[in-house]
Homo-oligomer: A and B are copies of this chain.
Amino acid sequence: MNRRFSSSLLACLAAVGLATGPAPTVALHGYSSAAAQAQHDWEAKFRAMPDPARLKADMEHLAARPHQLGSPYDKANAEWILQHFKDWGWDAHLETFQVLFPTPKQRRVELVEPTHYVATLREPALKADPTSSQQDEQIPTYNAYSADGDVTAPLVYVNQGVPKDYEELERLGVSVEGAIVIARYGGSWRGIKPKVAAEHGAVGCILFSDPIDDGYVQGDVFPDGAWRPAFGVQRGSVMDMPLYPGDPQTPGEASTPDADRIPVEDVKTLTSIPVLPISYEDAKPLLAALQGRVAPEGWRGGLPLTYHLGPGPAKVHLTVNSDWNRVTLYDVIATLRGAKYPDEWVVRGNHFDAWVNGAEDPISGQVVLLEEARALGELVKQGWRPDRTIVYAAWDGEEPGLLGSTEWAEAHADELKRKAVAYINTDGTDRGYLNWSGSHSLERFINGVAHDVADPETDLDVVERLRLKRIRDAKPGEDGDEDRQELRSRPTLRIDALGSGSDYTVFIDHLGIASLGLYFAGESDDGGIYHSIYDDIYWYTHFSDTDFVYGRALAQTVGGAVMRLADAQLLPFDFDGLADTVGKYVDEIEKLADDERSEIVERNTELDEGVFDATDDPKRPEVAPQHEEVPPFLNLAPLENGLAALKTAAEAYRVAEDKIEAGGGAGLGRDGVAQINQRLIQSERRLTSDDGLPGRPWFKHLVYAPGFYTGYGVKTLPGVREAIEQKKWAQAETQAARIGDTLQNEANLILEAAVELEKLAPAE
């Protein structure tokens, strides 16, 4: 009882701004002792500024009405944000682009056999929830960039509709050729589902939210609880973003009014079959009308029926027609010019467009960005000047396909490649633990920043709380023991790699700018209102970060990171963490290749032994797998060689840094630092290749990419990993060599930086 009381008390103290976190360490990476002290003081001032009441008030304005791309309220929000930046002393302007944005004209999902049912395709207004009734402004439930189409065909249930689900269907003798598939959300980014369905010959695709994933199985449904109500629908884009995001007609180029545009019919990122999302209440009669095999165990959802696969007897009529309009998007770009290094940019963004009201996604992140901007403006008034230029961006058009960030970054690509130090992204936030992903050269840096931020519920620093959570979550057994041991001994807590799904994509994947993505989550009941009309103020203030204290913690974290990057004498990149992480990826790749090989050997053995014939149930026959050629042992030595060079270079750089540090950082005041920083800025760029990844040249980073068949989920060392997954053995070796060279190049750059840094160290 005591504990609960005291943690509520802390939350109260935190809410009134009295508790601003544990005392920070005054030694700062990249700062001399003297500079660190000054920086520490400014950062402490900063952390006291973000105000939960303002976060809430800003949300109440920005999420007051539906504001999807192209809507009047979206434009009004852009102008409102712009005005705020100006008021806070920023140099701010709008940048506009002309982007293809289909909106729904005709939508129909109709069960025509063996019974009849017309899906409602409509989310009802709820009495308790005032904004849910703004139906005239709500964009209907749909999937943006679905092909137009009108098809009638037998239905097949395909689970989550990812490649391994189709392998299973094949084994069960079920084909989707000529069928409409119905897939539940989850297991991949939604855009993967119609892509894979079409690859297997389906003529239409229906997506639904199963109650087992974010409905009543998870908890009470909105408005009693946080979870998806019966007719709630997840809207969302199905553009093939793993090929390239941004305006479909201008890949790699800004979609300015006079840009060269690919004709719509030639665009490769639109789906080839019509797609629509529906609620679980609309899905129920469709699934209940299916017969055929019972779905495998892991495929069964939470509806009170037996999940069958079909095909049929359920036959469905699906119609999708869109207005294929080009609309104007409004990015808000605001800068604080750097006093010392105006041509070194720290970029930070969050989008402001939503599918409907979007209180959580993205406004809970947008208001954090605004509070940071207000506080930074305030610091400037108090006499602080950033050494580097700070660029704050409020992106438009993220929901349809990362349009605002991608087009802006493509428009400014050359400048960004020269100037961008790092990009920091948020995209909404909830309650709980720090979630962090990004470039591993920034792992140590973001650990340091976050150590200075207090968790609102426990007053622990947010890194320590996360560390203890990871200890608790480590699995029992040997792997877990290893994890716990690392959690108790490694000086920094690991960050995750970035996949896709938000505006950092163009920065890290296309331009090779070191990036971070940050938010708090894990204690809210998330997901049940995602991309529906119910993601609104009522929901957020009842079920998420209800008193906006995690919003404040996020502002403290991101703003602190921006300041510390902007003012560092030596940019706080760290290559030990990078080398260590790449080493883990290389281990994974080697294990993947081994596993793939031994899996095929084992399966062939089992075929020879007659395992599949012996275990086939004549009442539920399955198609036995085929003998497969045993893959060759792959030459992954270039990865190992590249990694070894990277490790050596990272160590040399650390040794040089240690020498600087031993001198109290005095060397950081000397002239050569700027030149070293120039190299460091390029260090992430060195991990890219102009040719990009096989089959998707827009993605240029060779260490991180969203998976071609996962969409949001990251694939590290993607060239070689996806080649092995897709059994392209020759390509795997080519890519391994390419990554090996890239790691060597990166090592060379780091070594050069190390040599230069060593020169600045005091003579021994």
Contact = CB atoms under 8 A, between A and B. Distances in A.
Interface of A: 3-4, 7-8, 11, 211, 216-221, 225, 227, 294, 300, 302-306, 432, 457-458, 460, 464-465, 468-469, 471-472, 476, 484, 523, 599, 602, 606, 609-621
List 3 A-B pairs, minimum CB-CB distance, nearest first. Answer: A468-B614, A304-B304, A468-B611
Q: How many copies does the complex hold?
A: 2
Contacts of A300: 217
9 contacts: A7-B616, A217-B300, A220-B294, A227-B306, A468-B610, A471-B606, A472-B606, A484-B602, A523-B620
Given A4-B621, A471-B606, A606-B472, A306 B614 contact: no
B306 A217 contact: yes
Nearest to A10: B618
A317 B424 CA distance: 59
Given A484-B602, A523-B619, A472 B216 contact: no
Contacts of A220: 294, 306
Contacts of A523: 617, 619-620
Contact of A216 (B8, B304, B464, B610): B304
A618 B4 contact: yes
Contacts of A304: 211, 216, 302-304
B611 A471 contact: yes
Contacts of A464: 614
Most chain B beta-carbon contacts within 10 A, residue among A211, A472, A476, A615: A615
Contacts of A303: 304
B606 A219 contact: no
Contacts of A302: 302, 304
B472 A618 contact: no
Contacts of A614: 458, 460, 464-465, 468-469
Contacts of A602: 484
Contacts of A11: 618
A300 B220 CA distance: 13
A616 B3 contact: yes
Contacts of A218: 294, 306
A460 B611 CA distance: 11
A268 to B, nearest CB: 36
B219 A294 contact: yes
Contacts of A472: 606, 611-612, 615
A609 B602 CA distance: 45
Contact of A618 (B8, B216, B469, B612): B8
A613 B606 CA distance: 50
